[in-house]
Chains A and B, each alone.
Chain A
Amino acid sequence: MKYYDKLIFDLSKAGRQGYSLPTRSWDATLESLPAGLRRTEKPELPEVSELDVVRHYTNLSQMNFGVDSGFYPLGSCTMKYNPKINEEIAAMPAFAGLHPLQPAATVQGALRVYRELAKALSAITGMAEFTLDPFAGAHGELTGLMIIRQYHISRGDLKRTRIIVPDSAHGTNPASAAVCGLEIVQVKSNANGLVDVEDLKPLLDDTIAGIMMTNPNTLGLFEKDIKEIAALVHQCGGLLYYDGANMNPLIGMVRPGDMGFDVLHLNLHKSFSTPHGGGGPGAGPVGVAEHLVPYLPVPKVVEDEDGLLSVVDKDGNACGRISGFMGNFGVLLRAYTYILMLGKQNVKNVGPLAVLGANYIKESLKGCFKLPIESVCKHEFVFDGLLDQSTGVTTLDIAKRLLDYGFHAPTIYFPLLFHQAIMIEPTETESKETLDGFIEIMEHIAAEAISDPESLKTAPHTTPVRRLDETTAARQPILSYKDLV
């Protein structure tokens, strides 16, 4: 990676152009708009040539790390390989050129993809039906919670405005619940890192809308009391929400529907191989059990007896509309492509191979790093920093040093249950050689922490930029080019 210091604005020169537009002479011109409705000054945009643009963004890209560049042991993020065929299918003009308001008769192929993907996700998760409208995991969470509230409201059960969230939950869980107008009730983890059933019991009453759970949880541990928890929550009239951020280890082995979950979301950009794109677009489909199907958001895709598909835009039972159109359709195409490639034969191995990789790293490194909970993990596990912390080397230092060695950092300082959390998730698409290489470097870093702690505390050394002054960035925000110049 090499440092390149320009912004596109730095390349701008008045009079240059990077566009090519048709020449047409229409009679009406913008001057005929009332002056009071027109913009007075030109927008501050760069004026650059096409090659300027191509070279600039190529240079910028070379300061980025991606799955195609190297291994991403990023816990809870499931950075698996993004197959290239997915991209080609998503770019097919017959899909990419469709206007979202086109009549159903002209988009049967697109609606077929929507239906078939929904069915495939139902098969994999054991849920009755899916909406593919949500744009991301957090958006799926919010949608799922809206469905839960709509279910209670439709039954006239208006008291249920509180939701139970474990202390180990992803930060989005409480945030989504708050946006959905729910009050958060926290349940503690026990010494084994699992939801404490005894702590849960007294929380269950007729004000509880449900519980949000991640299984395996953010420590990578399977919540083995799940069936008891499901029975208890259902008994009190609440519903179970499954945060599908950690679905990958269960693909092919366990279906959330069979554990008693009523609602779940999946992250297609995690478990179903669509690219993360530097933060999005992803997709967060929501699956529900039979009794919640009426409350799924609109638009919905429905099939008649003749196999003709149509879009339902208005439905009084639905929780409402949560997206302008029908979600990130291009992402849905990619995920469905992946599922077709997997088929029923390969889907069975996704989870087991992901779990194999995680346990392999955990067992290989527990001699150098502190493993707070000794147990078989699922797709990920958490170390609580180095075993020997005498030289003051922190988790942050380890993460930054990994960048020097060509690996991405793991997820750090999450979950909040441990002070020096290092959360590692390898995924099923990484080879034993890659994992061995990572293990070797982690051992090397652990040794360096004793022999040369300074090299860690000042890491990274070889990246295009080094540690940043984040405090000044937050104290005096510079958020656009005009703030900078």
Chain B
Amino acid sequence: MAKTVEGLYYSESHEWVKVEGNVAVIGITDFAQHAMGDLSYVDMPEVDDELEAGEEFGAVESVKAASDLFTPVTGKVVEINEALEDAPELLNEDAFANWIMKVEMSDPSELEGLMDAAAYEAMCANE
């Protein structure tokens, strides 16, 4: 059973968001990494990329599948998790401990449109 973490925001496309001040820390959920299987590559954006909520910012790849990543919030990429470049398996080991990118939010109210852990679990139960 895929786990969730309380206190995070969740998107329908299986990203999680942790809010640290004005910065959104973004990763993929445990449910998503389970569905993908062993990950072989994480395609990440570049620092300073400007992203619109809902825009594609990268992808995760396994041997036989690929899934695009969509940012739940609008803003500028301020940091990417370079450890994933050489060790995509970190997302399989712990999807919540290993974030993918940090975005300086330009409109924190967008968070209101995301789900909490309970709502996200309910959505996954129906997939």
Contact = CB atoms under 8 A, between A and B. Distances in A.
A471 interface: yes
B41 interface: yes
Interface-centre pick from B40, B41, B61 (highest chain A CB count, 10 A): B40
A215 to B, nearest CB: 28
Contacts of A471: 38, 40, 62-63
B89 interface: yes
B88 interface: yes
A467 interface: no
A471 B41 CA distance: 10
Contacts, number: 16
A475 B62 CA distance: 9
Interface string A401-436: 000000000000100000000000000000000000
A470 interface: yes
Contacts of B89: 475
A191 interface: no
Is the interface on chain B under 10, 10 to 19, 20 to 34, or 35 or more residues? under 10
Contacts of A470: 63
A471 B89 CA distance: 10
A470 B37 CA distance: 12
A205 B41 CA distance: 40
A475 B85 CA distance: 10
Interface string A464-480: 00000011011100000
Contacts of A474: 40-41, 61-63
Main secondary structure, interface of A, reads: helix
B64 to A, nearest CB: 8
A244 B77 CA distance: 45
A178 to B, nearest CB: 14
Contacts of B38: 471
A67 B64 CA distance: 26
A416 to B, nearest CB: 11
Interface in A448-485: 470-471, 473-475
A470 B64 CA distance: 9
A471 B61 CA distance: 10
A392 to B, nearest CB: 16
Contacts of A475: 40-41, 88-89
A474 B62 CA distance: 8
Nearest to B87: A475
Contacts of A473: 63
Nearest to A468: B63
Interface in B76-112: 88-89
B18 to A, nearest CB: 26
A475 B88 CA distance: 8
Contacts of B40: 471, 474-475
B47 to A, nearest CB: 24
Nearest to A476: B86
Contacts of B41: 474-475
B127 to A, nearest CB: 13
Contacts of B88: 475
A475 B87 CA distance: 8
A236 to B, nearest CB: 30
Interface in B4-43: 38, 40-41
Contacts of B64: 413
Interface string B46-62: 00000000000000011
Nearest to A474: B40
A474 B40 CA distance: 6
Name, among B38, B41, B61, B89, the residue most crowded by chain A CB atoms within 10 Å (CB to CB).
Answer: B38
B12 to A, nearest CB: 19
A475 B61 CA distance: 10
16 contacts: A413-B64, A470-B63, A471-B38, A471-B40, A471-B62, A471-B63, A473-B63, A474-B40, A474-B41, A474-B61, A474-B62, A474-B63, A475-B40, A475-B41, A475-B88, A475-B89
Interface of B: 38, 40-41, 61-64, 88-89
Given A473-B63, A475-B40, A475-B41, 13 more contacts: A413-B64, A470-B63, A471-B38, A471-B40, A471-B62, A471-B63, A474-B40, A474-B41, A474-B61, A474-B62, A474-B63, A475-B88, A475-B89
Interface of A: 413, 470-471, 473-475
